[in-house]
């Protein structure tokens, strides 16, 4: 959800991996410089955005996602450094492959919903810290984070979140296999 559209639309959904371990490190910056944080989205790595509209999420979709994600093992990841794309500062998870596998499986099942709507050629996994900001702000955030990294996280689930008109809310959480 890092490269979000100009405005969210009621009923939009996304599949994301919550990274609560990131909040003490990046929370204050995300609250200032990532619009999704102000809309209720916790620190995360996106698996697929946008996903099906909420009115398309039924028991069959939930069952398929449950089965799909349970086939993936829980995994540990680490955030060791910052990285940038134009006007954006993020943390790349290491290793990134487990996130890529989650995305590939969902995108293969729902090919009409490519990552970020097919808008970007590089959809590497990332945890957005600041987006749509000029370089001096990104430099400031980068300097602050350099002394606060690394941190680790254990990924145990994927969340389906939905935009409810003002904020994003967790609709369902899918456990990864053990």
What single-letter DSSP state applies at residue 71?
A: T
Report how far residue 129's alpha carbon sits from residue 16's, in angstroms, rounded to the nearest whole number: 15
Domains of the chain (ranges, CATH numbers): 13-175 (3.90.1140.10)
In the chain, what is the straight-line distance between the N-terminal and C-terminal CA atoms, in Å? 27
Give pLDDT tens digits for 107-166.
Answer: 999 999 999 888 888 789 999 999 999 999 999 999 999 889 999 999 999 999 999 988
Collapse the DSSP code of 69 into the 3-class scheme (helix H, G, I; strand E, B; otherwise coil) and give the result.
helix
101 band by pLDDT with thresholds 50, 70 and 90: very high
Q: What is the DSSP string of 74-127?
A: PEEEEE---EEETTEEEE-EES-HHHHHHHHHHHHHSTTS-GGGG--S-----E
Report how far residue 60's alpha carbon sits from residue 38's, in angstroms, rounded to the nearest whole number: 31
Please state whether beta strands 13-18 and 44-48 pair in parallel, antiparallel, or not at all (unpaired): antiparallel
* Most distant CA atoms of the chain, gap in Å: 47
C-alpha distances out from residue 89 to 42, 68, 128, 157, 163, Å: 16, 31, 6, 25, 24
Is the model's pTM score more than 0.75? yes
Least confident piece of the model among 30-34, 104-108, 113-117: 113-117
Q: Residue 3 pLDDT > 70, yes or no? A: no
Position 98 scores a pLDDT of 98
Sign of CA dihedral 8, 126, 45, 80: negative
C-alpha distances out from residue 17 to 14, 41, 138, 146, 172, Å: 10, 11, 24, 23, 12
Give pLDDT tens digits for 36-88.
Answer: 998 999 999 999 999 999 999 999 999 999 999 999 999 999 999 999 999 99
Q: Please, are residues 13 and 161 in contact by the beta-carbon 8 Å criterion?
A: yes
């Amino acid at each position: 959800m890092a490269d979000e559209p100009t405005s969210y639309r009621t009923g939009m959904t996304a599949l994301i991996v919550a990274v609560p371990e990131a909040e003490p490190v990046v929370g204050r910056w995300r609250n200032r410089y990532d619009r999704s944080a102000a809309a209720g989205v916790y620190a995360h790595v996106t698996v697929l955005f946008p996903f099906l509209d909420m009115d398309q999420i039924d028991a069959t979709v939930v069952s398929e996602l449950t089965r799909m994600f349970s086939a993936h093992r829980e995994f540990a990841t680490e955030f060791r450094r910052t990285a940038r794309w134009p006007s954006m500062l993020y943390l790349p998870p290491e290793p990134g492959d487990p996130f890529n596998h989650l995305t590939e499986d969902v995108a293969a099942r729902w090919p009409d919903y490519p990552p970020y709507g097919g808008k970007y050629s590089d959809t590497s996994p990332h945890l957005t810290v600041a987006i749509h900001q000029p370089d001096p702000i990104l430099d400031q955030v980068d300097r602050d984070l350099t002394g606060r990294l690394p941190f680790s996280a254990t990924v145990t689930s994927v969340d389906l979140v939905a935009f409810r008109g003002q904020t994003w809310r967790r609709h369902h959480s899918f456990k990864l296999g053990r």
